[in-house]
Amino acid sequence: MRIYCTTCGHKGRINSREEVTRTYVKLYCQCLDATCGHTWVSTLAFSHTLRPSAQHLDTLIVDRFRSMPADQQQELVKFLKAHAVA
């Protein structure tokens, strides 16, 4: 990850970080231009999922199935049985 000084635009470096939560981190940064010397705090945060983890796919499917009306559940079960791969 590249960071740049918010004052002069030169490359910066992350000196340390503080994990506030698993999805929100404070980055303590320093400009690498010796004539600038600016230090600042940036944040790094989780925004949203683009594709769910395959590790949690079973849970997502079961939760989605349980949220469906009973008639849709029955239709889905019938469909899956008809298209099951042995």
pLDDT score for 86: 66
pLDDT over 90 percentage in the chain: 78
Ranges 24-33, 35-44, 73-82: which has the least confidence = 73-82
Q: What are the phi and psi torsion angles at 66 (to 5°)?
A: -65, -25
Indicate whether 74 pLDDT > 70: yes
Do the Cβ atoms of 30 and 6 come closer than 8 Å? Answer: no
pLDDT in tens, 33-53: 999 999 999 999 999 999 878
Paired tokens of 86: 């042995």
C-alpha 46/C-alpha 16 separation (Å) is 19
pLDDT band at 57 (very low <50, low <70, confident <90, very high): confident
Question: How many CA atoms lie within 13 Å of 10's alpha carbon, on the beta-carbon side?
Answer: 13
Rounded to the nearest integer, the mean pLDDT of the chain is: 93
